[in-house]
Structure 1
Amino acid sequence: MSQIIFGCGDVGRRIARALINDGVSREALVAYVRSSASAEVCSRLGVMALRVDLDKLQRGLSPCHESQLYYTVAPPKHGTQDLRTEALLTALTKDKIRPSKVVVISTTGVYGDCDGDWVTEQTPTNPSTERGQRRLDMEQRWLTWGYKLRVPVVILRVPGIYAYSRLPRERIKAGIPVVKRDECGYTNRIHADDLARVCVAAMQRGERGEIYNVTDGRPGSITEYLQAAAHVLGHDPLPEITMQEAQQQLSDGMLSYLSESRKISNLKMLTDLGVELTYPDFMQGIKY
């Protein structure tokens, strides 16, 4: 059976490697990418890469029929709707293409600010940013389409994705301040390699319509993470400022992350998907 990866960037390529390590033939892998640079990287992995722009998509996705499909594409950067997902689902419907199963990467941002409380898959969604609203819209479109066409869809809600190759080098090199630890809320993380393995496990064992939080289960502050990253990269500790000072100095994007605090439980993922994390703590995984 073919394995289709939509949006074969860093995480998508890690999914491809995980599948290959599990014995899937490279000839069975197809990546849909937007840029020629991504296509070239996929080709070096031995994965057939097809270029597609979901912002302009009409039809012509026949390789997806009866394949297992991993969807890693981020929604557009503005608005509250995910029109990229809508374009893909419209094209699949027009061409009468029905994947055998779909795994979709979403975000734990759909829960919004939980004031530092523990969050499970039963926690109501309440996205407080447009970014979270777009992801929730994406989830709902995939689940609705899946139920209508009887295609099993599994949603993975993912927090911050990290790996040594993904560390924010430019931010750390510039010495941009971080908020004092005692003023930070809780954030959550998952190593990119563990995420890839969870995606494969969800394809193999995830049930139709189910939602899984994908995290290492060790919530902490963004300041802890950034200071650890600075240390690993050989830089001096980043200056720490108050939240009030941050309102004047940090970007709107960073402030939006700081405005939310939640501790994400990964019990359902570990139990139902049978996943054993390689990096259950970012202090271990940040070096790899």
Structure 2
Amino acid sequence: METITHRTVEVNGIKMHVAEKGEGPVVLLLHGFPELWYTWRHQILSLAGRGFRAVAPDLRGYGDSDAPPCPSSYSVLHVIGDLVALIQSLGQQQVFVVGHDWGAVVAWSLCLLRPDLVKALVNLSVVFNARHPSRRPVDSIRAIFGEDHYICRFQEPGVAEAEFARIDTALLIKKFLTYRKPSALVVSKEKGFGGSFDTVINLPSWLSEEDINYFASKFKQSGFTGGLNYYRCMNLNWELLAPWTGEPIKVPVKFIVGDLDLTYHTPGVQAYIHEGGFRKDVPFLQDVVVMEGVGHFINQEKPNEISDHIYEFIRKF
């Protein structure tokens, strides 16, 4: 990883940390929660070795990027504004985009609002969630799963942060990156986030103590509030995106998900992917890959396969 370079870029009123390597067409890699640029460490090296310039920012609120204090400063317009400014700072008219988890949500939004900036998109784990004209997303989650769903529990500022503060950060990161059971999504107020975790974790082969320590060191420094504020803007984003209701994604897309990913087993998602709804909302969807035996953190769990999938798709453009 010592060959990956790091710098700070002034974008949209904040300082954004960027990790990058390579020369050639730019591939913008967008991480999720609770992650950092580091989640793309394998893809950065692979893409750089294949003639691309891989650029992986810490999104606002994460790692070494600035973290504005107001929750509403994490709206879709703020975050996409950051990326537009970043793309411009790179001297690019268009870039390839790859997203995972919240980074996938951000990538869908970038393609929705500024499709002119995106040559093609590879998104992992999270499907496009077209705006429902009469249903706020957090309200929908609450209606389906109840108040104890983790997204509902994340809504009140300070609550999750206080519970996370009582848990060793490295242990917390281990739990987040290795969860596979649906029970991890339900967090009662009585047990709290700490009560929902086991005490012994055996790391999988794709995740090392060094990896955990890197993530933990950055979250100890920045805290989790920045990342949690993305969840706290979900209903606000629904309001802000009203003018784009019914607008499809108008860029070429490849979508990849693991068959053990809990997002793949969210009610309605498989039907949406395989029965036509996805292709209606994403008319230039060119490929859907369901990887067997793979969980949510797919780009870390299967780094070589994901790097190959990205390369084989974007090399066509």
Query: Structure 2-normalised TM-score?
Result: 0.31
Normalised by the length of structure 1, the TM-score is: 0.33
Of structures 1 and 2, the one scoring higher in RCO (CA 8 A, sep 6+) is 2
